[in-house]
Amino acid sequence: MRYSGFRVIAEALTGHKGWKPVWRDPEPQPAYDYIIVGGGGHGLATAYYLAKEFKQARIAVLEKGYLGGGNVGRNTTIIRSNYLLDGNEPFYEFSLKLWEGLEQDFNYNAMVSQRGIINLIHTDAQRDAFTRRGNGMILNGADAEMLSRDQVRALYPFLNFDNARFPIKGALMQRRGGTVRHDAVAWGYARGADMRGVDLIQNCEVTGMRIENGRIRGVETSRGFIGAGKVGVAVAGSSSKVMAHAGMRLPIESHVLQAFVSEGLKPFINGVMTFGAGHFYVSQSDKGGLVFGGDIDGYNSYAQRGNLPVIEDVAEGGMALMPAIGRARLLRTWGGIMDMSMDGSPIIDKTHIEGLYFNGGWCYGGFKATPASGWCFAHLLAKDEPHKTATAYRFDRFLKGLMIDEKGQGAQPNLH
């Protein structure tokens, strides 16, 4: 069923009786060519591109809970490709380009909205670092520009320009950055995959892997054994748990990241901004809520909830930047489990087990990566070689000393 404005009008006039289920609920078949473990954004995108772009069939996505229930359902919805390092920037720019055509591609309005992102600058050293980054972005085909303090003020006059502890001196801006309605991304990919014959199997938890002679044969699940030619794992947050079924230890720790939304307010923040002197970033949703966040809590956790110090720290950053939000109210906080990798960058790679592939380590950058991650993982699964924008995302980069460490923090995941 194709979605369009005409269809909405036609259905409205006939009592909405014609809308069909967005996806089926199939029973698992005994075996598939491809099993994608994880029905979050990356897993669904992988299945979608595997079917659509790489013309593969007999694909299943196994999800232990509900579709889109991973970090695609609990993030701050930002898209951008303002990365510093060559290992990252081509990939994220590829992702941003996919975002730009996504809705027409999968015929679902995910509200991709490129209202611009600014990274505020407070010191000369920051300006130098952001200049390096902006130039790297442009060399990678992305857009970047440097805003003066006055230009920032024209965009957001209510920021603290006059009484700030760390004065705003300018900003690096990427106009193509923005936000996307996060749940709709999962639903759009799920619908598109389902339409192409992918079996989306909810409430199906992988409990083991059958590996014979160094080759994967299938997965044990809460709904029985399912055979597979290739298994791709995309379960960020739970990567260590799932890959332990294959006896692997990963360069990843699971940490909690809290996110925040305020009550709905009349629009006053158009784009996305990050505070350069505190841990705070914010945008305003199409419903009016301020969506914001800051640092991860900083300790290993699978609890999907955080603690008070980070909430206070984020609020302090917000108030320092925007003293006008004092009377806005925080409505809801929630926590997601982040796959924090050892250099802050992801892994999309084969494993030493034939037919077993891994996609994870997204830290808190996973949402914006969804389309490219799915595409590149599908590429790897279908062709057994990395996509050209993801060649750096290998397991062995730590052994070889080829870390992709955007923040320069070293092998300490909670600092990335």
Partner 1 sequence: MIINHPILGPRDAQEFVYLGDANLINRPDGMTAGIEAFHDYLYNRDNPAGAHRELWYHEQGDRSWLVVTRNTLTHEILKVELARDVAKAQGRSK
Partner 2 sequence: MKQSNRISGGQIDRSTSLHFTFDGRSYLGHAGDTLASALLANGVRLMGRSFKYHRPRGPLSAGSEEPNALVHLRTGARQEPNTRATVAELFDGLHATSQNAWPSLRFDSMAINDRLNSFFTAGFYYKTFMWPAAFWEKIYEPIIRRAAGLGALSKEEDPDEYDKGFLHCDILVIGAGPAGLMAALTAGRAGARVILADEDFRMGGRLNAETYEVGGMAGADWASAAVAELMSMPHVRLMLRTTIVGAFDHGIYSAVERVSDHLAVPAAGKPRQTLWRIYSKRAILAGGATERPIAFENNDRPGIMLAGAVRAYANRWGVAAGDRVAIFTNNDDGLRTARDLQAKGVDVAAVIDSRQGGDLLAGIRHLQGAQVIDSSGRLGLRSVTVRLASGATETISCSALGVSGGWNPNVNITSHHRSRPEWRSDIAAFVPGAGGPAGLTAAGAASGALSTHGALATGQAQALAALADLGKAATAGELPRAEDAPIAISPLWYVHEGKGRAWIDQQNDVTVKDVKLAHQENFTAVEHLKRYTTLGMATDQGKTGNVLGIAIMAELTGQSIPATGTTIYRPPYTPVAMGALAGRSRGREFKPFRLTPSHKWAAEQGAVFVEVGNWLRTQWVPKAGETTWRESVDREVLATRRSVGICDVTTLGKIDIQGTDAGAFLDKVYANTFSTLAVGKCRYGLMLREDGIVFDDGTTARMGPHEYVMTTTTANAVTVFRHLEYCRQVLWPDLDVQIISTTEAWAQFSVAGPNARRLLQKIVDQDISDAAFPYMGAGNITIGGLRGRLFRISFSGELAYEIAVPTRYGDAMIRKLMAAGAEFDAIVYGTEALGVMRIEKGHVAGGELNGQSTALNMGLGKMVSKKKDSIGMVLSQREGMNRDDGYRLVGVKPVDPKGSISAGSHFMEIGAPVELASDGGWLTSKVFSPHLGCDIALGYLKAGDQKIGRKMRAVNFLTKTDTIVEIVSPHFFDPEGERLRG
Sketch the per residue contact string, 25 through 64, with partner 2: x for CB under 8 A, - otherwise: x---------------------------------------
Q: Does 302 bind partner 1 (CB under 8 A)?
A: yes
Residue closer to partner 2 (CB basis): 54 or 166: 166
CB of 13 to partner 2, least distance (A): 7
Q: Applying CB under 8 A, which part among 128-136, 233-241, 269-277, 284-292 lies near partner 1?
A: 233-241
Query: Which residue's entry shows tokens 């730590």?
Result: 398
Q: Which of residues 277-336 bind partner 2 (CB under 8 A)?
A: 277-278, 284-289, 303-305, 307-308, 311-312, 314-316, 318-320, 323-334
- Amino acid of residue 121: I
* Token pair in block for residue 224: 């029985």
Pairing outcome for strands 224-233 and 31-37 = parallel
Pick one of 23, 92, 362, 393: the residue that binds partner 2 (CB under 8 A): 23
Q: Applying CB under 8 A, which part among 65-73, 252-260, 327-335, 345-353 lies near partner 1?
A: 252-260
Pick one of 33, 58, 166, 175: the residue that binds partner 2 (CB under 8 A): 166
What CA–CA distance (Å, rounded) separates 149 from 147? 7
Q: Does 409 bind partner 1 (CB under 8 A)?
A: no
Pick one of 300, 352, 374, 407: the residue that binds partner 1 (CB under 8 A): 300
Q: Does 411 bind partner 2 (CB under 8 A)?
A: yes
Pairing outcome for strands 199-201 and 59-62 = parallel
Q: Which secondary structure element, helix H or strand E, spans residue 319, and what is its range?
A: helix 308-321
Residue closer to partner 1 (CB basis): 146 or 311: 311
CB of 160 to partner 1, least distance (A): 25
What CA–CA distance (Å, rounded) separates 375 from 54? 9
Do the Cβ atoms of 369 and 360 come closer than 8 Å? no
Do the Cβ atoms of 367 and 74 come closer than 8 Å? no
What CA–CA distance (Å, rounded) separates 160 from 170? 13
Please name which of 240, 208, 231 lies closest in space to residue 353, comparing C-alpha atoms. 231
Binding at 350: pick from partner 1, partner 2, none (beta carbon under 5-8 Å per type)? none
Residue closer to partner 2 (CB basis): 217 or 279: 279
What CA–CA distance (Å, rounded) separates 294 from 22? 34
Please name which of 328, 399, 367 lies closest in space to residue 96, comparing C-alpha atoms. 367
Length of the chain: 416
Binding at 67: pick from partner 2, partner 1, none (beta carbon under 5-8 Å per type)? partner 2
* Token pair in block for residue 412: 């300490």
Q: Which of residues 337-356 bind partner 1 (CB under 8 A)?
A: 342
* Token pair in block for residue 394: 């290998």
Residue closer to partner 1 (CB basis): 139 or 411: 411
Q: Where does 150-197 show beta strands of DSSP type E? A: 170-174, 178-179
- Site size with partner 2, rule: CB under 8 A: 122
Q: Which of residues 122-151 bind partner 2 (CB under 8 A)?
A: 122-123, 125, 127-136, 138-141, 144-146
Which residues of the shown chain bind partner 1 in the complex (CB under 8 A)? 238, 240-241, 249-254, 298-303, 307, 309, 342, 398-399, 411-414
